[in-house]
Amino acid sequence: MKNYAALLLLGLAPLLSLAGPEEDREAFVEYYQARFPDVPFAEFANGIYAIDEDARRQWQDIEEFPPYEFAIEQGESLWHETMPDEAKLADCFAQPVADIRPAYPRFDAGRGEVVTLALAINHCRQAHRLPALPYDSDELISITAYLAYAARGKPVATRVPADEPGALAAYEDGKRFYYSKRGQLNFACADCHVTSVGLHVRADRLSASLGHTTHFPVYRSKLGAVISLHQRFFGCVRDVRAKPFALQSKEFRNLEYFLSYMGNGLEFNGPGARK
């Protein structure tokens, strides 16, 4: 396992065709635990606050009056709103409200693609004669904020079914994205969040990818708004001077699928608050 973790650090994981998702995840966890031996596994759900004490203290102060509360309230209202045919969003989901966020992302064999929570919400709206919401809209992000809040404390349990080739292909596509260099800066996700994790970029420290999906959507102080995970993906790709993919594109959904699987066993704790 340690040899595999070393290859992971070098960004060669996509070349290890014999490694399955669970081997990837175990190596991922092993690497971060070796890098930060004093950080309990569960703490990685807190992102940068797991490894930066100064940032953690600021976050704890912010959490006394959470800036994302308005989004949770709006999302709850929209969740219970009646659609044109008298149905509600909850009617599209078989799970109790606390179990909906943990059910996504998932591979939908019928559709042949990864379905995220945002995509599932829009599928529901369209099935009940409402237009899809823009993926950067306050309304859609607020609904996901409400569902994230309802899921707090639930474990991440993303599945890549062994008997579903399409699921493994989507997972591998997300893994390739994570380790692929792009843009004028020639950076991969792993360059910042694996090899350089914990180091400073100007006044900020780079967080671990382990647990990246647990706390979204997040309130960004510098933006004064709650943003989705895919908006963060978009910003990262743009910042390395590459052309970003569309929100909820296949590329970003598969990346979310990979990162979500890497975080299995951590607890959901969204919405979050970040600089």
- For the chain, the maximum distance between any two Cα atoms, rounded to a whole number of angstroms, is 57
Active-site position among 124, 189, 192, 236: 236
- H-run or E-run covering 166: helix 165-179
In the annotation, is 189 catalytic? no
Q: Which of 25, 44, 26 lies closest to 213 in space, CA to CA?
A: 44
- CB under 8 Å to 32, separation ≥6 — which residues? 39, 44, 197, 208, 210
Residue 170: what residue type? A
DSSP-assigned states of every residue in 253-271: HHHHHHHHHHTTTSBP--S
Residue 111 to residue 132: CA distance in whole angstroms: 17
Q: What are 203's two structure tokens?
A: 């006044």
Pairing of strands 200-201, 204-205: antiparallel
Residue located via tokens 């409402």: 130
Q: Hey, which residues are catalytic here? A: 236
